[in-house]
Amino acid sequence: MKKKIAILGSTGSIGKTTLEIVKKNKNDFKITLLTTNKNIKEILKQSKEFDVKNIIVSNFFYFQKIKKINKNKNLKIYNSFDSLRKILKNKIDYTMCAISGIEGLKPTFDIIKFTKNIGIANKESIICGWSFINKEIKKNKTNFIPIDSEHFSIWSLVKNDIHKINQIILTASGGPFLNKSKKFINKVKPIDALKHPNWSMGKKISVDSATMMNKVFEVIEAKKIFNLNQNKFKILIHPKSYIHAIVKYENGLIKMLAHDTNMNIPIFNFLYHDRSNKIKSNPINLSLLNNLSLFKPSVKMFPSLKVLNKLLNHETLYETILISINDELVKLFLNNKINFNDISLYLLKIIKIKEFKKYIYKRPINIKEILKTMSFSKKLTNKYVRIKNA
């Protein structure tokens, strides 16, 4: 029997990769739902190719537009995730949550009750709202698997042995500017920051990789997902991105997980975690294994790493503020409003301003408060940068 699957954010990178896997294994899956914010051309193409009967277009303008141009009478188009109960009358087998940004938090939370297995590739959801997501996962007995390559690797290595962990190492490529001078980096353009040496990623995450902020976020995600103190985690530079996680156990054993820089692998293993199948992959790369070149990142080179010293082990709205400030600064850089080095510079200054102090220890009450805090933080960030540039 085919497994039913929903893909939230099907027109993005992770969504498209998931569809490619489904395409190669059509006898195993039936897609029940696809969603997008505004890429209506792509989602109509996807719904036709995979014979999908339900789609959600969350942007109201594009929802109205797609309703006018859609010629498939069998396709039901919705504008809100409040329609999930109409679409998913019974629990489906898998849900891939690949909506980018904080916009993915509420849809991720809302769909948990309708799915047996959930894969989350949206870091903002986990960083800002893990306590709510985790509670809902447990309440509905939904199986959760992280999709980000580092967190999937940790999950694969530790599983039921999380209480035996001594240390977990997350690896980072160092981005496109590794070993470049600050003078050189300050002159780079957005197009330069998007040239990741190993991965093909979206604009935002590519810039975060270049500043190492992506690794900061991954540490926050990992400590929440695996319920470990932050001091259990360490970051090492690994320019070739072949090793994704290293786990040292209290009994002295060390395990590491390697795979090609290809998101097909964690996504495929999520979809087939409970049954067997094969994926086409490259042979073991001995030249990479013989030259891992692991080393500690320089805080001088990657000042964003200083943020880790300011975080608590329990969930607070401060993490939402951190995501929000970084989002806006990356956006300003991509729009040529600030220099690359300004991202980290402004970030470390803005998180210290008095308006944010009360959030350092404040736990979020609900998802609505998280979204409100994010909106406030983004406005304040733009105001601060404008004042500085005035």
Spans of all domains in the chain: 3-147, 149-262+272-309, 314-390
**What tens digit of pLDDT does each residue of 173-194 get?**
998 888 888 778 878 899 998 8
Of the pLDDT bands very low, low, confident and very high (cuts 50, 70, 90), residue 12 is very high
Mean pLDDT calculated for residue range 193-220: 89
Average pLDDT, the chain: 93
pLDDT of 249 over the 90 cut: yes
What does the pLDDT read at residue 161?
A: 78
Of the pLDDT bands very low, low, confident and very high (cuts 50, 70, 90), residue 294 is very high
Closest by CA to 184, choosing from 336, 301, 343, 306, is 301
Structure tokens at 40: 């209506």
CATH class of domain segment(s) 314-390: mainly alpha
Of the pLDDT bands very low, low, confident and very high (cuts 50, 70, 90), residue 363 is very high
What span, in angstroms and rounded, lies between the C-alpha atoms of 8 and 4?
Answer: 14
- Residue 295 per-residue DSSP state: B
Helices and strands (DSSP H and E) totals, the chain: 16, 11
Mean pLDDT calculated for residue range 292-314: 90
What does the pLDDT read at residue 390?
A: 59
Of the pLDDT bands very low, low, confident and very high (cuts 50, 70, 90), residue 361 is confident
CATH architecture of structural domain 3-147: 3-Layer(aba) Sandwich (3.40)
Which strands form 143-146's sheet, in the order they lie side by side? 76-78, 54-57, 29-36, 3-8, 92-97, 115-120, 143-146
**What tens digit of pLDDT does each residue of 115-172 get?**
999 999 999 999 999 999 999 999 999 999 999 999 999 999 997 777 789 999 999 9
- SS3 helix, strand, coil % of the chain, rounded to 5? 50, 15, 35
* Bridge partner residues of 234 (DSSP): 169
Write down the residue that tokens 């447990």 correspond to: 138
Structure tokens at 131: 């306590």
What does the pLDDT read at residue 357?
A: 86
Structure tokens at 334: 């991509």
Helix (H) or strand (E) holding 382: helix 367-389
